[in-house]
Amino acid sequence: MATSIIDPDNGGGTDYLSLNAWEAAKQAVLSAPEIAQCRNSSGSADTTAFEISAWTTSAENYILIEAYTGFQHEGVYSTAKYHLTTTNDSALHILEHYVRVDGIQIELTTTGTAGASGVAMSGLVAGGADIRLSNIIVKGICASTGTVAGIVANDADLTLLTIWNTIVYGIEASGDPSQRGIYMDNVGTANLYNCTVNDCERGIERDVGTVNVQNSLVFECADDFNGTFNSITYCASDDDHTGDSATNFVITQTADDYAALVTDADGRDYSVTDTSSELFNTGNGATPKGTFTDDIIGTTRGPADGDWDIGAFEFAAEGPAAHVATITDGISAADVHAGLGGYLATITDGLGMADAHSSGLQALLSEGMLNSDVASVVSALFATLTDGVNTSDQPSPLKGMVATLSESVNVGDTLDPLLALLAEISDGVDFGDVPSILSQFLDTITDGITAGDAPDPLLALLAEISEGVDLGDFTSTFSQFLDSLADGVDFGDVNNAIGGYIKSISDGVTTSDTVSPLLALLAAVSDGGVFGDVAGTINQFLDVIADSIIISDVNSPNVVFNVTVTDSASFNDVLSTIFSFGVIITDGFSTGDVTVYPSGAQGEVNISFSTKKSTVTFAVRKASLTFISKQSNIEFQRG
């Protein structure tokens, strides 16, 4: 089995820039399946039409063209996923046997009198063929008067064609009957299961061959079904085909937007609206389940044969691949146990979102909600949490978590690594016990908040903290800690090395008990603050202090200590060696008990004063002293 990556954006690992280039290079006599996986890593279109010819294939050695993992569409045409676009041409022309196309998007534009098609099958060599088209979207932008079809088969050598979970729309221009969604011009046997055709001049047309249509939705076409079919069963249309089978029915949910039938017909979202839709559980899976058992986006059909929905989508009553829900007033969406490809939920008023066990959860939560017990990987969790919300107990990795938390919110016990955690927290919030590595922690915290016990390394912690905040016990290394603290903040017990510490502190602040080395500590302290108990080595300590501040109890060596003190400050109790101590004091200050003891013969103490008062007393153990005064009465004692 050979696999090639097709990417018009030439992302890493790309083999070919277009399906056309892949097909030309790969033509061969196959001894194993040949697979082309299509993506567009930067969103570009594949704009080159191509045909599959000059191969030798077999039932075991087939050609498969499919969407690359992560680039499958979600049932609605999206340029963010791989898409093949052409103008006045056949985007994909199949001339070989045993070809399979799955999950591809095609955009077909026509102008003038041109004819064109999304997928064409003709010119096949004799010998029989098995061609399968599944989970395809063909989008028409038609303005020509030529023969146009979303999908067309015109070869009697096409002995078996199977199409399922396929959407075709927009193949119409000026009332031209040659504009068809799916056109079986000439075919051996064609089976069409769970297709959706909308806004085409003719929905599905049969001219020659045995054509069976089952579980299909065809609506808003000038003629939904044209021609004589072998069978039309369990189909819904806004034409009357009950004469073909009593299992068919005429759609009555025909409001302008068909909102009761499908989610958004005008927006080309043909997913089943809800269990009240006429499409819900009105199909039958007895025959098609031998070929497929899921819908266009991977939702499992059934479980019983009579539980199949009509059209390309299956309503996701449980374990949806895509679930869009608005839940209000005491409703529980608990116990969603199966895979969630995408979960979009607006939840209010005391709801429980517990026990969502699979990947993919996007939620807007408010007012006393519990988002606990998300037990499997969540690729992306986007949450706006307010009013007493607890998102605790998310025990598996979250690749991305973006949260706005306010009003007594507890983010609790996120037990595994968070690659990125962006949080805005306010009003009495406890961020709790984040016990594993956070590569990035960006946090705005206000109003009496504690960020609690984060015991493992934080590579980057950016925090703005104000109004009585206690950041508590950060016990491991911080590579970077950028912090703005104001209004009665206690930074508490930062117990280990901090590579960089930049701090602005004002209004009665204490940063007591910083017990290990700080490589760089830059602090601005004002308004009656106590800096307190910096007990370990500080290589650099640059401090601007004003307004009745005490820098008491600096107990260990400081290589450089520069202080500017103003307005009735006391600079007492500097108890250990200070190699170089420069003080500028103005406006009637007392230096208090500045007792300096250089270690051995190391260094010297230089104390400089500028004062307007008449008396200054100080003592040093070294000879170098500078004293500048505008007053006459000066005393100097040398120890």
What is the predicted pLDDT for the residue at 316?
86
HSE-up of 18 (CA within 13 Å, CB side)? 15
Q: Which of 619, 622, 562 is nearest to 598 (CA)?
A: 622
Neighbours of 12 (CB within 10 A): 7
pLDDT at residue 1, as a whole number: 80
CA dihedral 421, 422, 428, 430 (to 10 degrees): 10
Q: Which of 595, 540, 597, 604 lies closest to 573, judged by CA?
A: 595
- Report residue 496 as tokens: 């280990």
Give all domains of the chain, ordered by start, each with its CATH number: 2-272 (2.160.20), 557-639 (no CATH)
Prior bond of 417 cis (ω within 30°): no
Q: Are 456 and 437 in contact (CB under 8 A)?
A: yes
- Please list the alpha-helical segments (H only) found in 400-482: none
Concatenate the DSSP letters of all residues of 97-111 into one string: SSEEEES-EEEEEE-
Q: Residue 591: phi, psi to the nearest 5?
A: -80, -10
Mean pLDDT (10-residue bins), the chain, 639 residues: 96 97 96 97 97 96 97 97 97 97 98 94 89 98 93 96 98 89 97 98 97 97 96 95 92 88 96 96 97 97 96 76 40 35 37 35 36 34 40 36 39 36 41 37 42 38 42 38 42 38 40 37 40 36 35 36 38 33 39 39 40 40 39 41
Strand blocks (E) in 234-379: 236-237, 249-250, 262-264, 269-272, 322-327, 342-347, 361-365
- The single-letter code of the amino acid at 403 is A
Closest CA to 128 of 57, 27, 50: 57
* Gap between the Cα atoms of 83 and 40, Å rounded: 8
Sequence-separated (6 or more) residues with CB below 8 Å from residue 237: 203, 217, 218, 219, 224, 225, 248, 250, 251
Q: What is the pLDDT of residue 128?
A: 79
Q: How far apart are CA 335 and CA 356, in angstroms?
A: 6
State the pTM of this model: 0.54
Q: What does the DSSP assignment read for 216-256?
A: -EEESSSEEEES--SEEES-EESS--TTT-TT-EE-----T
Q: Contact at 8 Å (CB) between 520 and 501?
A: yes
